Copies of this chain bind each other. A is one copy, B any other.
Amino acid sequence: MKIAVFGTGVVGQTISEKLEQLGHEVTMGTRNVEQALSRTNKDSFGRPAFGEWHSKHPKIKVAAYGDAAAFGEFIVNATNGTGTLPALEQAGKKNLAGKVMLDISNPLDFSKGMPPTLFVCNTDSLGEQIQRTYPELKVVKSLNTMNAYIMVNPSLIPEDHTVFMNGNDADAKSKVKDLLMSFGWKEKNIIDVGDITTARGTEQLLPIWVRLYGSLKNPMFNFKIVVARPD
């Protein structure tokens, strides 16, 4: 499949690499290609600059958001939450219309210090904002509740654990589910929470996620929904 991945951070890189391994054609979307590739500083987690990473993945193309969106039959949004709507504006309504978007973004606001707060929550969500702004795009929020390495390699956690999906379109959710299963997710561990308004719930898992990262001193964990014995 031809897939556009928006965002060149750790989530975009990790997802793109996995998609390439699975045989997809990947074009990563960014605001300014030249600028993204010429970055030389390590990021705040000490990982290599995007240009260095990309030189090791030459089959993955990098393009402006509009060109990446035009290329992709399927779109992955791995931008920072604050950058999501500006990125989609650059991608362009007509390049998004009718396509399925796996939305991994979270509305994290780092401007008020750590841990981040959410810039939209409770009565709205970033998933809904995207869906409202691009009604012809089929938004499925998923994978946003865990570390990037776990997203594409769920077996890093030896026992079962959960990935949520939120979206309005059943066919789009089915396509995202297939993609998740190709990443190694077991069908029984994929919970379809409901329509895109249920993204409020999954995005609001981030505040406990960031605090557990603090108290466990380890980002390599996930949520599992466990159910009682039937009566």
**Copies of this protein, total:** 2
Contacts A202-B208, A207-B201, A211-B201 given: A216-B227 contact, CB under 8 Å?
Answer: yes
**Cα-based distance from A224 to B221 in the complex (angstroms):** 10
B215→A157 contact, CB < 8 A: no
Report A181-218 residues with CB < 8 Å from chain B CB: 191-194, 198, 200-202, 204-205, 207-212, 214-216, 218
**Cα-based distance from A226 to B220 in the complex (angstroms):** 9
A201 interface neighbour in B193, B208, B227, Cβ under 8 Å: B208
Contacts of A214 on B, CB cut-off 8 Å? 194
Contacts of A157 on B, CB cut-off 8 Å? 226-229
Stretch at the interface among A6-14, A16-24, A84-92, A115-123: A115-123
**Cα-based distance from A117 to B212 in the complex (angstroms):** 23
**A222 CB, min distance to chain B CBs, angstroms:** 6
Chain A contact residues: helix, strand, loop or mixed: mixed
Contacts of A216 on B, CB cut-off 8 Å? 191, 225, 227
Contacts of A210 on B, CB cut-off 8 Å? 201
Interface centre among A198, A215, A226, A229 (most CB of B within 10 A): A226
B215→A221 contact, CB < 8 A: no
A226→B122 contact, CB < 8 A: no
Contacts A207-B122, A207-B204, A208-B202 given: A159-B226 contact, CB under 8 Å?
Answer: yes
A130 in the interface, Cβ–Cβ < 8 Å? Answer: no
**Cα-based distance from A117 to B204 in the complex (angstroms):** 12
Closest B-chain residue to A198, C-beta based?
Answer: B211
